[in-house]
A and B are shown apart, each in its own frame.
Chain A
Amino acid sequence: MSAIELRGLVKRFGAYTAVDDLNLAVPQGSVFGFLGPNGAGKTTTIRVLTGLARPTAGEALIFGVDVARDFKSVSSRLGYLPENPAFYGWMTAREYLEFCADLFELEGDRRAARLSKMLEFCGLAGVDRPISGFSRGMKQRLGLAQALINDADILFLDEPTSALDPMGRKEVLDMIASLAHEKTVFLSTHILEDVERVCDRVAMLREGKLVLESDLETLKSRYLEPVFTLEFDGPIDMFITLLSGLVWVVDVRTEGRTVIVRTNNLQTAERELPKLVARASLPLRHYQMGEMSLEEIFMKVLA
């Protein structure tokens, strides 16, 4: 059974369709990257899955249970971190986690153990001041801890790193990475580096519609096209002319005196490019072969 399943999910706000016939299955134990530009319908989908919004049509299932009909029976098995986690500002981190533990009716040794583990996990064990004085990063870490207080089987994380500085982002990503294989993590984001770092499966959404779903390796192998970067010390017009019309050249981009060549035939490109450079009689300063980044794949798919 999939941890999460969406069957023909539709969510409309008046005439605007935020999520349009979305079908998706998230295997248990995966870290699932839910990608898409702003306004693609990622947050709306998570809000339906967490019982905060009702679907216009279709079903959203968690462990086979339709959340619109019976959210209560699965609520104790999930954790949710919204994009902007909000707390009672007068509470301390410990008090807020105690409040969450009360909501889950955790008692005795288990309660004490979860509280202490989560306070350590979010690095706020020794912080006794009210949450109102916390930095954004501290709130995000506490948000992750409150989502995990019940040892949830599924975690919904909505843009958990989007507003963090590099240090805070690294901390939160390390925390997510440490959950891999133990929990099912549904990670909504538009930061592709984060997906490359922690996710094993991805789905891409555009204007409420699913445009791609795959595991990361398959995605890369399907869309992977070698990219050559050549930087010259003179005018590049002649070299560009030589590249035009060649069947093994998929795309040519220029940035100043740097030429970026995408190819569909690695062996031919490796053999032919140095010859073309020699024919153009251009002094070469830099030559590098690389792979398309996830960002480039993302742009290609969305295009």
Chain B
Amino acid sequence: MRAFLKKELKEILRTYRLWAVPVLFLFLGLMAPASTKFLPEILKPQLRAQGISITLPKMGAVAAYQAYFKNLTQIGLLAVILFSMSLISEEKAGGVLAQVVTKPISRPAIVLAKWLVHGGWFVVSLAVGAISCYFYTVGLFGKAPAGAFAAANLIFAVYILFIFSLTLAAGAVLRSQVAASVVSLAGFSALSLLSFFSRWSARYSPASLNDHAVNVVLGRAGPVDAIWPMLITAALGAALLAGGIFIFDRQEL
């Protein structure tokens, strides 16, 4: 496994992943407070020119945080799928893995090394986005809650790792990266839709973690309230990954 951990780390350092993933999260982190602060001021003259008079509520730091988590759900998770859909399937389709697995390396070790290194990089990138969002929010709005925001980001990190596990497992099972991304997107959409139809799902499913994160920054709930959904999400992610590894280990390459 050490050989693959080293290789995956090197791959991050030597390819676009080094800058593309943190830059995207940095952008999401900066965009949220900026749009919260400046959007009403940009809209105001345009609405006035059209003779529309609307009193926009005064936005604060918590609204900036809300916008940040909305961005993460809409763009961040999609990016996680796009960045990770090729991690195994591309190496399988291109024949690189066939050459490698004839050497003394176990296939589960290959998947786990990818999960550890790339999952770790997603978490680091999320931290980059969160830190930039916090400081820019403080800069624009003055005071902003730090503890609740950090706890909410931890909750969201579990969601990101779940989506990453889903995509990695799909890539381990399927040969085409497009098919892997379609399966991940379908899974992600199904989980989100399920929350509308099932109260249990809205409370405990992986998709509920976004709401839990927002509730924590809004002060409606504490981080402790998200423990069960986090554990359920972690267990589901581990099960998906284990299933993907089980099939990949028996696959003909």
Interface residues, chain A, CB within 8 Å of chain B? Answer: 47, 50-54, 72, 75-76, 78, 80, 82, 84-88, 90-91, 95, 99-100, 102-105, 143, 146, 150
Contact = CB atoms under 8 A, between A and B. Distances in A.
Can you list the 3 inter-chain pairs with the closest CB atoms, starting with the nearest? Answer: A102-B3, A86-B95, A80-B102
Contacts, number: 63
A47 B103 contact: no
Given A87-B96, A99-B3, A51 B101 contact: yes
Which DSSP category, helix, strand, loop or mixed, fits chain A's interface?
loop
A215 B187 CA distance: 57
Nearest to B96: A86
B10 interface: yes
A47 B252 contact: yes
Nearest to B3: A102
A75 B103 CA distance: 6
Interface of B: 2-3, 6-7, 10-11, 14-15, 94-96, 98-106, 252-253
B102 A50 contact: yes
A75 B99 contact: no
A86 B7 contact: no
A76 B105 CA distance: 10
Given A47-B252, A88-B11, A102-B2, A82 B103 contact: no
Nearest to A71: B102
25 contacts: A51-B101, A51-B102, A52-B102, A75-B102, A75-B103, A75-B104, A76-B103, A78-B102, A82-B98, A85-B99, A86-B95, A86-B96, A88-B11, A88-B96, A90-B11, A91-B10, A95-B10, A99-B3, A99-B7, A103-B3, A103-B100, A103-B103, A103-B105, A104-B104, A146-B99
Contact of A76 (B7, B14, B104): B104
A80 B95 CA distance: 12
Contact of B104 (A82, A84, A88, A103): A103
A51 B102 CA distance: 7
Contacts of A53: 252
Given A72-B106, A76-B104, 9 more contacts: A52-B102, A52-B253, A54-B252, A76-B103, A80-B102, A85-B99, A88-B96, A90-B11, A105-B3
A151 B27 CA distance: 50
A95 B13 CA distance: 14
Contacts of B252: 47, 52-54
B99 A80 contact: yes
A90 B103 contact: no
A104 B11 CA distance: 20
Contacts of B105: 103
A100 B103 contact: yes
B95 A84 contact: yes
B15 A90 contact: yes
Contacts of B96: 86-88
A208 B65 CA distance: 65
A191 B94 CA distance: 25
